[in-house]
Amino acid sequence: MNYLYDFVTLLCIYSVLAIGLNLMIGYTGIFSMSHAALLGVGAYTSALLSMKAGFPFLVSMVCAVIVAALFSAIISVPSLRIAGDYFIVASMSLQIIIYEIFVTWIEVTNGPAGLPGIPRPNLFGFVIKTPQAYMWFSIVMLSLVVAAVYGIIHSPFGRVLRAMKEDPIAVQSLGESVVRAKVTIAILSSAIAGLAGSLYAHKMTFINPATFDIHESITIASMVILAGAGRVWGPIIGVFIIQAFPELLRFLEISGSHVGSIQKALYGLILILLMMFRPQGIFGKFKDTTLGVNKHVAKN
């Protein structure tokens, strides 16, 4: 049973991350290659502050969110000013730089050996220790993130995002800053990644740089694209498919040493097939009624 609880917990944590990334890829059309690193920034910040500075869990978590957002602001403010395509390169560089910091800043991060002994979250005296309790905690956090993202997407700002995807020049001609909207989304998305990182660190109680390398960034992006970028709940399905995939491979009789590479090759194949036959993802295009505006009109 614990196995199932752990599976659902990780599903929730990666869903938080993917929903945040979907704000960029799905709603804004900015492709980020640094989300694994930002997950790591959240994880390391939260873990180190809890372990070395003795911060309470909630404070560490909030700091993780802020630090991840700051890291992203460093690259998004200059690179989104130029053109969307440069952001891929800038975010990939950020991914590599952050990963190198995790590996080489041994005094703080303990390098490739990783950080063991991260404390369990303590919420007002209640320690979330059992897999079951952590699962419920992750479900609550995921629900909060879904609600927040849903609220933003169905707001006037969400409408601006949709308009930007259709015609950024028209958006500018109406007095809205496209750069500002993109930077807002990039920072928000990274803040959510930081939150996921904090949840991850205190769940695993051990983190090391390998979890936050560029392959992970690609996997996370695959999760978002797979189910259909541009739907609030789409990434959850994508995460489920990709998380469940290794479990399914167990039923095939493949020797353990090959599972990893077969998995990656199959992800690649699935993505190529999707781009060819269903570029909008499995669950298709996003459509909404912002703040119920259209319904409002129908009534009048």
Partner 1 sequence: MLLRIEHVSVRFGGIVAVNDSNFTVKENEITCLIGPNGAGKTTLFNLITGFLTPTTGSIHFRDQNITGMKPEKIVRLGIARTFQNLRLFNDMTVLENMLLAVPGKYNQSILRPLFLRPRLKKIEAGNIERALETLEYVGLGGKAGEIVDNLSYAEQKLLTIGRLLMTEADVLLLDEPASGLDKNSLDRIMPLVQDLKRQNKTILLIEHNMDIIRSIADQVVFLNQGQVLGVGTAEEIMSNPALTEIYFGGGAHHGEGA
> Distance between CA atoms of 73 and 94, rounded to whole angstroms?
11
> Distance between CA atoms of 182 and 165, rounded to whole angstroms?
11
Shortest CA distance to 17 belongs to which of 211, 180, 160? 211
**Residues 3, 107, 166, 276: which binds partner 1 (CB under 8 A)?**
166
Contacts of 162-167 with CB under 8 Å at 24 or more apart are 162/27, 164/28, 164/29, 165/27, 165/28, 165/29
* Alpha helices in 205-255, H assignment, sequence order: 214-227, 234-249
Residues making up the chain, counted from first to last? 300
Size of the site for partner 1 (CB under 8 A): 36
Q: Rule CB under 8 A: say whether 156 interacts with partner 1.
A: yes
Beta bridge partners of 126: 123
Which of these segments, 204-212, 223-231, 264-272, 291-299, binds partner 1 (CB under 8 A)? 291-299
Q: Rule CB under 8 A: say whether 169 interacts with partner 1.
A: yes
Site track for partner 1 across 188-227, x = CB under 8 A: x---------------------------------------
**Residues 2, 172, 205, 261: which binds partner 1 (CB under 8 A)?**
172
Beta carbon nearer to partner 1, 135 or 178: 178
Beta carbon nearer to partner 1, 66 or 97: 66
β-strands 126-127, 122-123 pairing: antiparallel
Residues in contact with partner 1 by CB under 8 A are 148, 151-152, 154-160, 162-163, 166-167, 169-178, 180-181, 184, 188, 290-291, 293-294, 296-298, 300
